[in-house]
Amino acid sequence: MNFDHIDIIQSTIDGVLFGSIYALIGLGFTLIFGAMHKLNMAYAASGIAGAYTGLMSLTILGMPVLMAFIIGPVTAGLIGLLLYFACFRFMPRGNQLAPLMASIGALFFIDELIIHETSGSPMSFPAVLPDAYFFLGEFGIRGDLLMVMGFSFILMAIVMLLLYRTKLGLGTRATSQQPVAALLCGIPTHRTNGTTFVLAGVLGGFAGCLLAASVGVLSPLLVLPLTIKGLIVTVIGGLGSIRGAIIAGFAVGAAEGVFLLVRGVNERDIYVFLLLFLFLVFRPNGLFGTTINRD
Amino acid sequence: MLSVNNLVTSYGLIKALKGVSLEAKEGAVTCILGPNGAGKTTLMFTLAGILAPDSGTVSLLEHNLTGLGAPKVLRQGLALVPENRLVFADMSVHENLLAGAFTQSRAMAAQVNDDIDKMYARFPILKARHDQPAGTLSGGEQQMLALARALMSRPSILLMDEPSVGLSPLIVDEIFAIIKQLNKDGMSILLVEQNATKALQVADYFYLLDQGKVAFSGTPDQLKNDDVIKRAYLGGG
Ligand SMILES: Nc1ncnc2c1ncn2[C@@H]1O[C@H](COP(=O)(O)OP(=O)(O)OP(=O)(O)O)[C@@H](O)[C@H]1O
Ligand SMILES: [Mg+2]
């Protein structure tokens, strides 16, 4: 194989742009983990499911493409709330395994539901900005991926504003750091947790739609890889670290782009998973996680 | 003002409170003494609505608080400074105080800012540290922050669970001076404390909790003259 530094930089650019989807999914995983210190394994699946409902609003109801980006996230937010009630809200407090297993169950439930409804075959998703392509010196930039990145930055900014500039955000952060003290401050912690699931769900729905728009199809085959990439991003960023999840999302995207160039599409994910093992062994708290243990 | 009637609270099969009754009078400092594991924290959490009792009642100024849940209990005017302070470590001192005012509506924003200024006046060290993450504060400073945070809800009675634990004698003196001043300013206080000598300096009435039951109750004079308590809590016979 033959490639020079230009190819590598080009692959990194593509990877970073695509990585904004991972950053969104990682951010969602992290928000939920931050709120309850539990992983919602069905999270990425809910995002893809949202994207499917968005797509169906186009194919069945004939709505304009933009509506997919409204209906998808809204549905994904509702699924997030459902998952909260089904898998987290009423689980025994000290039991870590119950919500984990329940959400793995929900992951397969959503996956099977999608396979059943679509007979397992991929559906094409309308491309947004299919012909836009820019040049930056020697490097090319796909217009749709640039849009994906722009969209992601706007969503991240909104999440940050909500978390750090509103009363809801104050309550959410307080609940995440010290749930008992939050209750003692009069914060309705069950409600703030529910809100976090909805917010994360909406992000996931956007990520699902953006993913579908940039690869041009929706398929049940996207569910598992997106779940695993989201988990990898969350771990590499440091469980619970918002900044870490965002940076790790772009970093994993970039690494994936380079692995794709160097080792091809069949081997790409092997190396991404290897990266996860390296982090788990040598830096288990990720890039920015302070500590995994908590009282 | 606060009356607790025959409260029973359990963790699974273990009964931690076995029918506790007590009274905290308006404008007074009421102190609960008791050895480790007596159920003091369980009592505080039950009063504050963190734990739900199996039976018994809690009422504050004729309002029934039993089984309301913490946020509603707080709105009724009962605030708890929890054992080990439990400050929001990654949030600034200022944000911790804002969180304490969570039950105040948006329309009260000006009043909340006023209250924060009052807290800074009462606890100058918090003003100096207002921008610092609460986790970087010393134990004594965190205790003051936890206290100020609880006061931000404008309670009519303040519960404190072992505010002096783990602090150096000098800081303990400071904390007790603050408790005394708060009470002088009209705050009713229910205080859990293992340091009986210190508690005697501020409290108007005592309860001794042992194995989930009230084993003794009385005035400071009655406490000082009780042989068993003298030996166990006041060091000497
Ligand atoms: N979460 C829990 N689960 C089970 N048992 C508990 C729990 N918390 C407390 N207990 C038990 O309930 C009893 C009372 O505990 P509690 O914490 O109320 O005592 P305490 O008087 O506050 O003690 P300390 O002085 O050490 O703070 C103890 O026997 C304790 O082991
Ligand atoms: Mg205790």
Q: Which ligand is closest to the CA of B211, given by its number?
A: 1
C-alpha A244 to ligand 1 mean position (Å): 37
ipTM of the assembly? 0.94
Q: Looking at residue A201, what is its pLDDT? A: 97
Q: Is the pLDDT of residue B27 over 60?
A: yes
Please check whether residue B71 lies inside any domain of the structure. Answer: no
B55 and B117 in a single domain? The answer is: no
* Interchain contact, A186 vs B74, CB within 8 Å: yes
For residue A280, what pLDDT band results from cuts at 50, 70 and 90?
Answer: confident
Residues B104 and B133 in one domain: yes
Q: Is A165 exposed, middle or buried (0-12, 13-18, 19+ CB in 10 A)?
A: exposed
In angstroms, the CA B184 to CA B181 distance is: 5
User: What's the rounded mean pLDDT across residues B86-90?
Assistant: 96
The reply to whether A171 touches chain B by the CB within 8 Å rule is yes
pLDDT band at residue A1 under the 50/70/90 scheme: low
**Quick one: B11 and B97 in the same domain?**
no
Q: Under an 8 A CB cutoff, do A185 and B103 touch?
A: yes
Structural domains of chain A, ranges and CATH numbers in brackets: 5-282 (1.10.3470)
Q: How many structural domains is chain B composed of? A: 2
CATH number (domain holding residue B133): 3.40.50.300
Q: Which residues from B are below 8 Å from A182, CB to CB?
A: 88, 99
Task: Quote the ligand 2 centre to B42 CA distance (angstroms).
Answer: 7
Label residue B234 by pLDDT band (50, 70, 90). Answer: low
Residues B2 and B91 in one domain: no
Q: What is the pTM of this model?
A: 0.91
pLDDT of residue B235: 58
Q: Which residue of A has its CA nearest to B78?
A: A184
Q: Do residues B52 and B136 share a domain?
A: no
Note whether A187 contacts B: Cβ–Cβ < 8 A: yes
Please judge whether A174 and B149 are an interchain contact, meaning their C-beta atoms are less than 8 angstroms apart.
no
Same domain, B85 and B55: no
B183: in domain: yes
Given a cut of 60, is residue A291 above it in pLDDT? no
pLDDT digits (tens, 9 = 90+) for A50-89: 999 999 999 898 888 889 999 999 999 999 999 999 999 9
Same domain, residue pair B49 and B6: yes
The per-residue pLDDT for range B166-185, each reduced to its tens digit, is 899 999 999 999 999 999 99
Tens-place pLDDT, residues B142-169:
999 999 999 999 999 999 999 999 899 9
What pLDDT band is residue A5 in, cutting at 50, 70 and 90?
A: confident
DSSP secondary structure of B136-198? GS-HHHHHHHHHHHHHTT--SEEEEE-TTTT--HHHHHHHHHHHHHHHHTT-EEEEE-S-HHH
| B125 and B47 in a common domain | no
CA distance A42 to chain B (A): 29
A151: left (phi over 0), alpha (psi -120 to 50) or beta: alpha
Inter-chain residue contact A186 with B80, CB threshold 8 Å: no
Residues B15 and B103 in one domain: no
Of B193, B89, B166, nearest in space to B179 by CA: B193
Residue-range definition of the domain harbouring residue B109? 77-187
The pLDDT-based confidence of B237 (bands split at 50, 70, 90) is: very low
Of the candidates A272, A8, A21, A230, the residue with the CA atom closest to the CA atom of residue A145 = A21
CA distance B99 to chain A (A): 6
How far is residue A274's CA from residue A90's CA, in Å, rounded to a whole number?
Answer: 36
Q: Is the pLDDT of residue B236 over 50?
A: no
Instruction: Determine, yes or no, domain membership for B110.
Output: yes
pLDDT computed for residue A51 by the predictor: 96
Q: Are residues B93 and B50 in the same domain?
A: no
Residue B210 falls within a domain, yes or no? no
Averaged pLDDT score across all residues of chain B: 92
Per-residue pLDDT, A134 = 83
- B104 with B56, same domain: the answer is no
Does B41 contact ligand 1 (Cβ within 6 A)? Answer: yes
Q: Is the pLDDT of residue A218 over 60?
A: yes
A196-208 pLDDT per residue, tens? 999 999 999 999 9
